[in-house]
Amino acid sequence: MPGEGGPAGEPAGMELGSAAVRLSPEGEAEVVWGRRLDPARIEVLSIPLPSSGRRWGEVVLHDGVPHGERVTAAGPSYPVFDEIELWAPSPVPTWVVLLEAATEADRDALERLAADAGFAAEDWSSSVRLLCRTCSESRMPSDEGDGEHLDPHDHSEPGHPGPLGHRTAGSGSGSLWVPERECGIAAPPGLVRGLLDGWVADSPDTREWRDLEEVC
């Protein structure tokens, strides 16, 4: 069992880098980013949506044959593996909260605070994109997976989005910033409110939070 602030399982001494894993491949599939511990296991570094039933920091066993690929603008590509089963659960719950963040810098500050505490926060309003299953299982363009911000989750649905392309929640680079954000947080119950209050206290004129709820 993992500790609250650490990975769910120790790596086997391998440096295999980042990869993506498709959680619940037979259901409401969701592709999230993780760190490869060995050829068969990935530690989840994204904060999965509650529909997946998975948590940040969990280790999942995956099929060894990639089922899709994410290609970055800089050139590197990352395989997408299908989850087989949960290998090691995480005791860290997932919360959803509504933020009022006046700027992207305000949002980024919460993500850094959570990371500095040994946990995670993720702006789902800009990190979740909806793809059809066929596109999710193919070679898709992607942001860098192991930079400051994780690549968008790929949440699959039957059919194809149509001529307008794939829908992405929130506003990305070059879009008009929307202050209201839906944020996922992975943190223990005794820390999450203090983390949010500390974030607001650092800039009370530009930050607020409300409607905190544990979802997984």
Give yes or no: residues 98 and 187 share one domain. yes
CA distances from 132 to 20, 89, 125, 160, 167 (A): 17, 28, 19, 5, 10
Q: What is the pLDDT of residues 13-31, one digit of tens each?
A: 456 788 889 998 887 788 9
Give yes or no: residues 176 and 125 share one domain. yes
What is the identity of the amino acid at 89?
P
Do the Cβ atoms of 47 and 33 come closer than 8 Å? Answer: no
CATH code (residue 157) = 3.30.70
Closest CA to 58 of 119, 98, 2: 2
Give yes or no: residues 168 and 125 share one domain. yes
Give yes or no: residues 107 and 179 share one domain. yes
> Which residue, of 57, 72, 88, is where some domain finishes?
88
Strands (E), the chain: 18-23, 30-38, 41-44, 59-62, 69-72, 77-88, 94-101, 120-123, 128-132, 139-142, 153-157, 167-168, 180-186, 207-214
Give yes or no: residues 22 and 113 share one domain. no
Grade residue 200 by pLDDT with cuts at 50, 70 and 90: very high
Give yes or no: residues 25 and 111 share one domain. no
Q: Which domain holds residue 184?
A: 94-130+145-214
Q: What is the pLDDT of residues 50-74, one digit of tens each?
A: 988 999 999 999 998 888 888 777 7
Do the Cβ atoms of 156 and 29 come closer than 8 Å? Answer: yes
Give yes or no: residues 83 and 190 share one domain. no
How high is the pLDDT of residue 138? 63
Mean pLDDT of the chain: 80
Give yes or no: residues 81 and 103 share one domain. no
Grade residue 78 by pLDDT with cuts at 50, 70 and 90: confident
Give yes or no: residues 124 and 207 share one domain. yes
Strands (E), 65-206: 69-72, 77-88, 94-101, 120-123, 128-132, 139-142, 153-157, 167-168, 180-186
Give yes or no: residues 105 and 56 share one domain. no
Whether residue 139 lies inside any domain: the answer is no
What's the number of domains the chain is made of?
2
Give yes or no: residues 101 and 56 share one domain. no
How many other CB atoms are there within 10 angstroms of residue 101's CB atom?
25
Give yes or no: residues 76 and 158 share one domain. no
> β-pairing, 41-44 with 167-168?
unpaired
Q: What are the two backbone dihedrals, phi and then psi, of residue 128, each rounded to the nearest 5 degrees?
A: -120, 125
Whether residue 2 lies inside any domain: the answer is no
Give yes or no for residue 49 having a pLDDT over 50.
yes
How high is the pLDDT of residue 171? 42
Percent of the chain with pLDDT over 90: 54
